[in-house]
Each structure stands twice: as structure tokens, then as C-alpha cells.
Amino acid sequence: MTTTHKSLYEDVQVQFNKAADLMNMNKGIRNILSQTANEIVVHFPVKMDDGQIKMFTGYRVQHNNILGPYKGGLRYHPSVDLDDAKALATWMTWKTAIAGLPYGGAKGGIQFDPTKCSDGELERITRRFTFALGNNIGPEYDIPAPDVNTGPQTMAWILDTYLSTRSQGERNNSLHVVTGKPLNSGGTLGRDRATGYGVVTTIAEWARDHKLDLAKATYIVQGFGNVGSWSAYFMKQKGAKLLAVEDVSGIIYSEKGIDPEELITFAKNNHGKISHYPNVVAISHKEFLSLKADVFIPAALSNQITLETAPLLNVKLVAEGANGPTTPEADLILQERGIGLIPDVLCNSAGVIGSYFEWLQNKRSEYWEMEEVIEKIKKKVIEAYANVSKTAKAHKTDLRTAAYIVALTRLEKAYIERGIFP
């Protein structure tokens, strides 16, 4: 995997400026949205298993909340820093606006490698981070969710710590302080698969528009965690053939195709990793990116399709399951090469849509059936895709810029209606 790192937040600004210029956005509102509202950095101590006290640095960036409470994931990874959190928080504002949700945008995380920690250490790190964030999160204020290397268990620890620090009376009406929770702790059926389901729903919409038969299509996936594995699961239901998968442990390829469900079961028993999966061949990162396939689903980290790697791609469509996998320079190369792209803010938006339905159920003390949740997610994703696609045609632009225009138009209208205090 490519590891060169540049400022993600600069990339967001390039994308933002392109759309704001094209739609001739109100200057004052453009100023507001070009900055983040709050940037919270906390340093906190944790007692490790060997008895030593270690200091950790955690981030929570809140970009904008004109449309509703801040919303966005928490990531545990050595690459987490303020710049990344600012970029990811800003993308959340666009994403929730594109999906038509009553949310703003936030993101955060802790800079460390969770694979080097025991479960006990992970729990203590998570609880101290939640405690350090204090009132900077809240069920009607800022609602975290899972992201890279965090999941339902992380959310359960955050929930428990948050509730334990509230007054008795507040505890039972604060379940919606985090989403992506385990089912018994107020999670919703369908949230686990929501993002992958949405990724494949947008691919199916694109395929219909571009006359690509998914039943005969081939694809490759980078990242086989929550988003990558569920995307592959739903691509199988469309009849598509998985040729290769890359994750942190290696790259596997099979000309005959890899069965996503078998790989999911294998990875579950192999600490989430795909290495040593039988009857496949190992290929290099460069070979992986150069494979001829119909669809490439990046579902790991940002900055993967760059000036150097975009010329290698041999696919018809890039469906951004991950956030920020494509740099602005690479976007231009893909466009010149006629490779389609479904942007992250649309492609993976079903994650936050699923979170919204979990949040609603918690607020109303309801439990919905899986089919109901999935049906509601499908409707919202298809509506968002249609809106972005229509906007792209109207402005004669790419889907990413169109998605930004949809989001910025919604935000601009809200600011114009409400004005600026005082």
C-alpha cells in the first residue's frame, strides 16, 4: 500500500474551492465552511499492562453543525493527527448534507497502533479518552461512531463511560451518544453491513447508468475490514467476481475468483487478516493496482490513488468505500483516462445513514427489523445518488464536484435563512 502522506485537509480545500467556484457560492458562507469550528486535542494517561503509565493524544474536530449535531467516527491508527481529523470532519459535513440527514460533521481518534495493545489496554485507553472528551461529546451535540480499528466494542466502552459520568436521571436518555453499538447496548440491526451495502448500491446505480452488467463484472478490494468485507459480500449477491484483495497483512489474487463469504470466515479466525488464505497467489502492490477489472473498491486508508498510482489503474470504476483514497491530482488523471469515480461522500454515506437510524431508534425507544433498516438505507442512498448524478449533468461536472455542490447548496440555504448571530 502507498504510504506517502501529504496534507489531507489541503485536498479537501482543493475539492471545496472547485465546487464553490462552479456554483458561485456566497463569499461569507464560503469563508465559514472553509474552516473547522472546534479542534479539541486531549493528552491523557493510561496504565498499561506492564504497570507503566503512558500518555496518549486524542483528537475530536467538529467542522460544522448548522444542519444538526456533529456526527462522525473515531479512528485508532498511528496516522491520526489534527490535519487528518480536520479533513475527515469536513467530509462528514458534506456527507450528512448530501444524504439529507439532520447532522453536521466531526471526526477524531487516537494516534497509536491498537494492534500492539491488549483488550484490557484498549478498554482503558478508550475509557480515558471518553473521560478526557467530557462534554465535548453528547447525544444531541456530537455523536461518535466506529471507523478504522474501532467497532461495536469500542462504542460500548464509550457509552458505558459516558453514562457513568452523567447524573442518574440522564443515563437512560443518553443511549444515542454513540452509534455503531452492539445490539444489546442499543445498536441497530443492519449497522454492521450498512456502509458496504451502500457502497454496492451506488455501484449498482452507476452500473445501470453506464450499462455495466454486474453479474459479469470483476472487481478488486483494498481493505477487508468492515467496509471492504461487507462490500464484497454484497457484490457477490450481484454476481460479481472478486479477483484480488489487499489488506495490512498482504495481497491475494485468484483468476478464478475469491469467495467473499469464505474469506470473511477465514479472516474472522485469523485476527481479521487475509494472509495465508488457501488456493490464491500473492502479488505485489503494483500488480494489484494494475489488475484488469471492472471495479476497484478502495476500503482502507486515504491517499492511495495518487499521481504515481492513478496511471496504473486498469478499471472502469473506482468506488470510494474509504474516505479520501484519491488525491485531487489523481482525480484529474482518472477523468482524463475515462475512469468513472463514485466519491466517498456519496459512496460510503450509508454508514452514517445507518447510524442515523440507530440514533432515531434510541431517541424513540424503538427496535426496528433488519429489513426495515436496510430498506430505509437503500431509499436514502438511491435518492442521494440520483440527486448528485442530476447535479453532475446540470453543471457538466464530475460526481465528486457535483456531490459537493449538493452539500454546499444545502448548507448555504440554511445559513441564508438563519443569518449570522448576533
- By annotation, the residues acting in catalysis are 107
Return the number of the residue (29 or 267) whose C-beta is nearest ligand NAD.
267
For the purposes of burial, counting CB atoms within 10 Å of the CB of 351, is it exposed (0-12), middle (13-18) or buried (19 or more)? buried
121 scored as a contact of ligand NAD (CB under 6 A):
no
Return the number of the residue (87 or 392) whose C-beta is nearest ligand NAD.
87
Q: Do residues 5 and 80 lie in contact, with contact meaning Cβ atoms separated by under 8 Å? A: no
CB of 369 to ligand NAD, least distance (A): 20
Binds ligand NAD by CB under 6 A, chosen from 323, 362, 397, 401 = 323
Return the number of the residue (1 or 312) whose C-beta is nearest ligand NAD.
1
Cα distance between residue 318 and residue 345, in whole Å: 13
Cα distance between residue 366 and residue 362, in whole Å: 6
Return the number of the residue (334 or 345) whose C-beta is nearest ligand NAD.
345
Q: Looking only at residues 166 through 195 of this chain, which bind ligand NAD when binding is defined by CB under 6 A?
A: 195
Q: Rounded to the nearest 5°, which phi and psi values hold at 360?
A: -65, -45
CB of 275 to ligand NAD, least distance (A): 10
CB of 166 to ligand NAD, least distance (A): 26
Cα distance between residue 222 and residue 339, in whole Å: 17
Binds ligand NAD by CB under 6 A, chosen from 87, 133, 300, 384 = 300
Return the number of the residue (179 or 397) whose C-beta is nearest ligand NAD.
179
- Please work out the total of residues on this chain that contact ligand NAD, with binding judged by CB under 6 A: 24
CB of 297 to ligand NAD, least distance (A): 10
Residues 157, 302, 392, 418: is their CA dihedral positive or negative? positive
Strand, helix or coil for residue 151: coil
CB of 189 to ligand NAD, least distance (A): 15
What residue number has its CB nearest to ligand NAD? 225
Cα distance between residue 362 and residue 395, in whole Å: 40
Q: Residue 261: enclosing H or E segment and its boundaries?
A: helix 260-268
Strand, helix or coil for residue 385: helix
Cα distance between residue 223 and residue 322, in whole Å: 9
Buried b (16+ CB within 10 A) or exposed e, 290-311: ebebbbbbbbbbbbbbbeebbe
| CA neighbor of 402 nearest in space, from 342, 348, 351, 352 | 342
Binds ligand NAD by CB under 6 A, chosen from 65, 111, 126, 149 = 149
Q: Do residues 86 and 16 lie in contact, with contact meaning Cβ atoms separated by under 8 Å? A: no
Return the number of the residue (202 or 397) whose C-beta is nearest ligand NAD.
202
Q: Which three cell numbers stand for residue 381?
A: 442512498
Q: Do residues 373 and 198 lie in contact, with contact meaning Cβ atoms separated by under 8 Å? A: no
264 scored as a contact of ligand NAD (CB under 6 A):
no
Binds ligand NAD by CB under 6 A, chosen from 19, 74, 89, 148 = 148
Strand, helix or coil for residue 381: helix
Return the number of the residue (246 or 331) whose C-beta is nearest ligand NAD.
246
114 scored as a contact of ligand NAD (CB under 6 A):
no
Cα distance between residue 307 and residue 312, in whole Å: 10
Q: Kindly write out the interface string for residues 217-236 of this chain, putting x where it contacts ligand NAD by CB under 6 A and - elsewhere.
A: -----xxxxxxx--------
Binds ligand NAD by CB under 6 A, chosen from 221, 301, 310, 330 = 301
Only segment of 275-283, 319-327, 363-371, 402-410 that touches ligand NAD (CB under 6 A): 319-327
The residue ranges that bind ligand NAD (CB under 6 A) are 1, 146-149, 195, 222-228, 246-248, 299-301, 321-323, 348, 351
